[in-house]
Amino acid sequence: MEGSRHTPRHFSGHDEIAAILGSEILSGARAPGSRMPTLAEMFDRFGVSRVLMREVIKTLTAKGMVASKSRVGTHVLDPSHWNWFDPEVLAWRVRLGLDADFLVRLAEMRRAVEPAGAALAARHRTAEQLEHMRATLDAMAAAGNDRRAFAQADLDFHIAVSAASGNPLFRSFSGVVETALAASFSVSSPADPAAAAANVARHRTIADAIEAGDTEAAAHAMLTVIDEGFARVSGERK
């Protein structure tokens, strides 16, 4: 009987187990091409029903992390198949830590998307949206030495810009990567008051260009903010 087996600890259910296995895949502990544990092996580890474990495997399959074949079993797929825009995948990756490679990939993605969103915001923003951007900038300035509050206001500003683009796909994109952006901002927020003030000023340049309807200046200012933030967190001033 499965219920009579000893389990080393209690696991709360589907989400926790999926996060554990997904994180093992993301960390490389389960390398691409390696076999995932059988249902029996996972029961020995997690002590939950086979039905629930099948649901966990379905979840990882839907995220492109594993694939199952009859008489072969379930194997880990190459990272090129993983759904990196899945909020859970990003959240699991962030919990593993922001290593240099991840920060480079995030900066590359932001450089490809956010300047275009800022340019569109310069065309389509409303007075209310601009007012919201200004409010987030004020919150950044008022954060003082509270790096968490500064990072949250920073994130709110970038989300406000994407919403002002007038293209719902840009806003949805920001929502999808919000966890990764929040983690990035939390480590890139300046600790020095002068550096923080300079960062706020660079963000105000974006808002000013958007208010002026200057698409080129808005895109350039956004790119400057992204590059400066990456340089700061990577320790390489450009």
Query: Does residue 92 lie in a domain region?
Result: no
The parent domain of residue 220 ranges over 99-234
The pLDDT value recorded for residue 178 is 83
Q: Are residues 58 and 13 in the same domain?
A: yes
Query: Does residue 179 lie in a domain region?
Result: yes
Q: Are residues 62 and 6 in the same domain?
A: yes
Query: Does residue 37 lie in a domain region?
Result: yes
Query: Does residue 90 lie in a domain region?
Result: no
The pLDDT value recorded for residue 11 is 60
Q: Are residues 68 and 161 in the same domain?
A: no
Q: Are residues 134 and 190 in the same domain?
A: yes
Q: Are residues 178 and 212 in the same domain?
A: yes
Structurally, how many domains does the chain consist of?
2
The pLDDT value recorded for residue 162 is 95
The pLDDT value recorded for residue 5 is 45
Query: Does residue 118 lie in a domain region?
Result: yes
The pLDDT value recorded for residue 161 is 97
Q: Are residues 125 and 226 in the same domain?
A: yes
Q: Are residues 154 and 185 in the same domain?
A: yes
Choosing from 52, 81, 110, the residue where a domain stops is 81
Q: Are residues 112 and 151 in the same domain?
A: yes
3-state helix/strand/coil string of 3-67: HHCCCCCCCCCHHHHHHHHHHHHHHCCCCCCCECCCHHHHHHHHCCCHHHHHHHHHHHHHCCCEE
The pLDDT value recorded for residue 176 is 78
> pLDDT tens digits for the chain (238 residues)?
344 344 445 566 899 999 999 999 999 999 999 999 988 898 889 988 889 999 999 999 999 999 998 888 899 999 999 999 898 999 999 899 888 888 888 899 999 999 999 999 999 999 999 999 999 999 999 998 888 899 899 999 999 999 999 999 888 888 778 888 888 887 777 778 888 899 999 999 999 999 999 999 999 999 999 999 888 877 643 4
- Give the global pTM: 0.82
Q: Are residues 141 and 194 in the same domain?
A: yes
The pLDDT value recorded for residue 238 is 42
Contacts of 128 (CB under 8 A, 6+ apart): none
CB-neighbour burial class of residue 222 (10 A; exposed 0-12, middle 13-18, buried 19+): buried
Which CATH number characterizes residue 36's domain?
1.10.10.10
The pLDDT value recorded for residue 98 is 80
